[in-house]
Amino acid sequence: MANKITIPSMPSCTGCGDCCGPVAATVKEIKKIAHKVKKKRIKWIPHALDPVKCGFFRYSDDGKSGSCAIYSVRPWSCQAFGVLKEMPCEFFPEAVRISMPADEAVKRRLIPPYSEGALLSSHFAPDHGDRQINALRLKKQQDMDNIMLREVSN
């Protein structure tokens, strides 16, 4: 089974950041991110109002939109958001182009199986030792994927 699949780009995006967190990543992706973070001196910046939002998401001056500080090395799950049937963007549902159930993505090693260590925050957040926050992030990720699996089953 091929691990690589081509992910079409998201044709429309406002940069709202609603899809940015919690973010799961494979060990290989975390290593790529760590290299970029070190080389470019990128810091994880926690979002006080939304502790599960990815700390690599940066709001623009208007506070309504933003961008990813690690965009060029963002995990597969981030690349797939909005174009994957199982992870549609609520603002642009017409952007869906492909389907890949979560269990299939895990088999292909495109996303990691659930564990606290699979979350980017577990590696880069200053509060990475805070079990309560990490548990909240993991629970949100599991809830999102459970919704995704239910939609695929129907």
pLDDT digit string (tens) for 67-91?
999 999 999 989 999 999 988 999 9
Count CB atoms within 10 A of the CB of residue 62: 8
Pick the range with the lowest mean pLDDT from 20-34, 88-102, 107-121: 107-121
**What whole-number distance in Å separates Cα of residue 113 and Cα of residue 129?**
20
pLDDT band at 1 (very low <50, low <70, confident <90, very high): very low
Whether 65 has a pLDDT exceeding 50, the answer reads: yes
pLDDT band at 134 (very low <50, low <70, confident <90, very high): low
Count CB atoms within 10 A of the CB of residue 5: 13
> What's the pLDDT tens digit per position in 104-126?
888 888 887 766 557 787 778 77
Whether 152 has a pLDDT exceeding 90, the answer reads: no
**Higher confidence at residue 135 or residue 22?**
22
Count CB atoms within 10 A of the CB of residue 65: 13
pLDDT at 34: 94
Mean pLDDT value of segment 88-106: 89
Q: Which residues of 10-24 are buried (b: 16+ CB within 10 A; e: fewer)?
A: beebebebebbbbbb
**What whole-number distance in Å separates Cα of residue 50 and Cα of residue 30?**
22
pLDDT at 21: 84
* Mean per-residue pLDDT of the chain: 82
Which residues are within 8 A (CB) of 140 and not within 5 positions of it... i.e. 6 or more apart? 21, 22, 52
> What's the pLDDT tens digit per position in 38-60?
999 999 998 888 888 999 999 99
